Structure formats: C-alpha cells, structure tokens
Amino acid sequence: MTTRLTRRSVLVAATAAGLGQAAFARAPLSTERPQPRGVPPVAAPVQSGFEHLVERSNLSGVVAYALIDLESGKTLDARQPGRKLPPASTLKAITSIYASQRLGDDYQFKTRLYSTAKIEDGVLLGDIALVGDGDPTLDTDTLGDLARALREVGVHSVSGRFLVWSGDFPSGKMIDEGQPDHVAYNPAFCGLNLNYNRVHFEWKPRGDAFDITMQARGLRFSPGTNVSRMAVIERSAPIFEYREGAGVDRWSVARKALGRKDGARWLPVRFPELYAADVFRTLARSNGILLGDPVVVRARPNGRVLAEVTSKPLNEILKGMMRYSTNLTAEMTGLTASMANGVPVKDLIGSGSRMAGWAETNFGARGMQLRDHSGLGYASEMSAENMAQILAANTDVSDLMRPFRFPDPKGNAKDQMSGVSVAAKTGTLNFVSTLAGFLEGRSGRRAAFAIFTADKSKRDAIPVEQRERPKGSKSWSRRSRSLQKALLGHWADNLERL
C-alpha cells in the first residue's frame, strides 16, 4: 500500500477536519490553530437523516458517525462527528497508513546473529548475539531457518556467551495494563518477539492427572519452553492465575476448568527476549549447535552478521494485521514507524502521540488521544470525523480491508445489496463497537465512513478480572453491529441523493 498525498486528498482531509465545529458568536477563549496550508473555510456538516435507526437500535451509550464523499470532500451524513470515543481496532487502519508512509511498502524486518569471533574447526571462538529488529511476525519455523543458516556457515558450537538484544525499542510486559493477565491478545512487546509473544498451552487427561505441554507451536517445529510453566491446582476460582518469576512466567490453572477432554489455548508471554532465546537455543541444538544460557544485554552487540532471516514486505504484514487484527503487529509496526527518523520513543504512549501529531500535520485530524497503535488501550480516543477524514485522504488503505457484507434494508436480510460494495475494518472492546472503511454505490460514487459506538460507563465499571467476557457486552455488541449494518444499507440506498 502506497500513501498518495495529492492536492485533492489534502483538500478532502482538510474539508473533513471541520466536521462538527460550530461557529461561536463571541471571541474564542484561546487562539485557534491554523489549518494546513491551502485549506479553504469549512461549511458546517449536515445533520443525520437516519436518526430513526439509532433510536430503533435501543443501544445505550453514544453513537457517532461521519460519511464523506471522496470526490468532493462533502460531508454526506454525520451524527456527533466530533465526539471523542475509543476507536478499538479500527485504529489499525490509521497505523497501516502511518507505517506505510514512513517505512514504505517494501520495508522488511531482519532478525540476525552477530559475532566478532572467528570460526575454527566449527567452533565460534567468542560470543554470539541474537538481535531483534522489531519483527512482529517472527515465528518458530523462521527461527528454525535461522538456526540452520548458522549451521551452514560452519558453526557447530560457541565458546563464548549467548547474548540477546532486542534493539532500541521500548518494551512492556503487556500492551494494556487494564486487561486480564491470561488473554493472549495482550502480550508483552519489545524488539525481539516470537509467535506474537504467545505460548501454546495444551492438556490431555491421563487418569486423575493431566499431561501438560507449553510449546512454541509452529507448523514445522514445536519445541517446549522453560520460560513459561503451568501447574494444575485444586481451586474453584480464578481459572488462571499468573505469578512473575525470575525470567519465568508461572501460570496455574483450576483443575475443574480443564474438564475431561483434550484442550489447548494460547497464553501471553511476558519475557519475550528470553522466550525467543530459549526456543532458538533448542532449535540450534537440533542442528548440532551448542549454546549457553541466554544473557540479555541492553547495548548493541558489535560484530558482523553471521546469519539472518527476513520478514515478508510490510504491505503483506499489514494485510495480515488488518485481516486477523493482531495487536502486537500494530504496536511493532507503529513503533518502528515512529522511530524511522532515528528519534527514540519512551513507550507506547509516546509513539501513539507521535502518530497523532503526524495525523494532524498531514490530514488536519485534531484532538486525537492515542495511547497505542492497536486500539486495545482503554485510554485511546478519537472522533468519527478524525477517522473518516484520514481514510478519505488515503483511499489505498481499502486494499488492506476485507469486504464487508450487509443486508439490503428493503429486501431479505440474507441478501447483499446488489451493485454496492464495502471494504471495512471492525473494532470491538467491551461495550465498544466500531466500523470504518469505504462505501461504493451503484453509480460508482465512493465515500469514506466511520461509525463509533461506546458505552464507556458500562465499560469502565467492569472489574479487570471479568473483562474477557463481561455480562451484557455480547448482546450490546450485537445491537451495535446491527445498527452499523442498517446505517450502511440506508447510506448505500440513498448515496446518490445525499
């Protein structure tokens, strides 16, 4: 995906930037920021003609949306377009644009082995270092390829230390601290990640006991790991409990929750550098290469590249992220984009703020409060107008989105409206449901849209330990999705008249 900043796209972005801004009869309390150069005054947005759909949805909380014509930049429909709400995973669309623009579609991550030592008779006479580059897609099979590549350069053992460095990236034990410990979509992050920083927990009943495995599951290789351990405990609750050890994730699970059948699930990893190093050490041993215990270092190791593996091009990575909504991919591509000019960032909040500044500078999207790049964090907020205006200025991002099916509002609920297409990204959190993308009508008229719904009071009242499946959230999200489909259907049916 290549972001194109044409004169018209800047005009569309600037036009949309004025959604929901009322004119004041008195002087403003503070000096208004200037608009991007070349931007004309913006007319007030139209009011929604589909309020009856919102009322019929019986949805608690706030409903906000914006629909922008791509050719003229005209706001075709809007409801509370400037209201700040959580974007959830629709934020990944903005992260895709950000990463593509700052890194380029062909950008590739590299994971390397470095050393300053000589190789004599198969022995590397010194230290070896496993060095991460922020690759969010590194998996066990690829690490196996790296181990094989090391063997092919003639290394069979290493006399020195096995060093591990995750680059200059900020790191964290989880993306959002407001999530339960055991959810795999909220893993740790740093410059060296493996299997989206998840471990595969599998159990098989054997009499009164269970056979337990904790594996770095891949398609070709599935080694066990000592960095994540599980104990089966007699208790009623909680189902999972986490305790941080010295470089070890110590999990326990309630015996009754496992049942009497085989089962498995992914759990997050909190020590990603050690996890990747532990798995690589096992894979190296299977290639006849002996390594010592890994030593995490905080300074760049010196030396030449002995072997490396390369990720797919960024455009393919972003397609996968948008399809499967992988939070780690969003965070690492966003962090890499923020650091592309060589200026470090301290944490996800700093990187999210840098992305918000980029959006305001380039597309006039003001007031975005971004605390990450995935939309997982509760504190991230932006408006529907922010989202729609950025999409309107970057239509190529539609190539990364999936087709979105919705019923004809006048026909059978199972029928897709003929002659109409929608490409969109969904977003879901507890009592938050969002949808953003592009709508094309029968005549070929195209529009960018964003629909944000949220009941933040209900969301914030949920205890952390209940946030995986809170009571009432599923039915609330179902009503929100029905409203989103109804709005799309009526917009499509009236697109030529709006």
- Domain boundaries, given as residue ranges, for the chain: 7-105+314-494, 109-311
Q: What pLDDT was estimated at residue 49? A: 77
Question: Can 7-105+314-494 and 109-311 be said to share one CATH topology?
Answer: no
Report pLDDT for 28. 29
Quick one: average pLDDT of 187-211?
97
Give mean pLDDT, residues 338-348.
95
* Cis previous bond, 34, omega within 30: no
Q: Which residues of 463-487 are buried (b: 16+ CB within 10 A; e: fewer)?
A: eeeebbebeebeebbebbbbbbbbb
Mean pLDDT, rounded, for 205-221? 96
**pLDDT grade, residue 27 (50/70/90)?**
very low
Fold for domain 109-311? D-tyrosyl-trna(Tyr) Deacylase; Chain: A; (3.50.80)
> How high is the pLDDT of residue 21?
34
CATH T-level fold of 7-105+314-494: Beta-lactamase (3.40.710)
Count of H-run helices and E-run strands, the chain:
12, 22
65, pLDDT greater than 80: yes
Tell me the average pLDDT across 114-136: 97
The answer to whether residues 432 and 420 touch, using CB atoms and an 8 Å cutoff, is: no
- Average pLDDT over the chain, rounded to an integer: 90
Check if the beta carbon of residue 432 is closer than 8 Å to that of residue 459: yes
% of the chain residues with pLDDT over 90:
83
Going from the C-alpha of 448 to that of each of 70, 174, 356, the distances in angstroms are 7, 33, 19
Q: For the whole prediction, is pTM greater than 0.75? A: yes
Q: What is the pLDDT of residues 217-229, one digit of tens each?
A: 999 999 999 999 9
User: At 24, phi and psi to the nearest 5?
Assistant: -100, 140
pLDDT of the residue at 1: 52
- Answer yes or no: is pLDDT of 108 > 60: yes
For residues 465, 469, 470 and 474, what is the CA-based torsion angle, rounded to 10 degrees?
160
pLDDT higher than 90, residue 111: yes
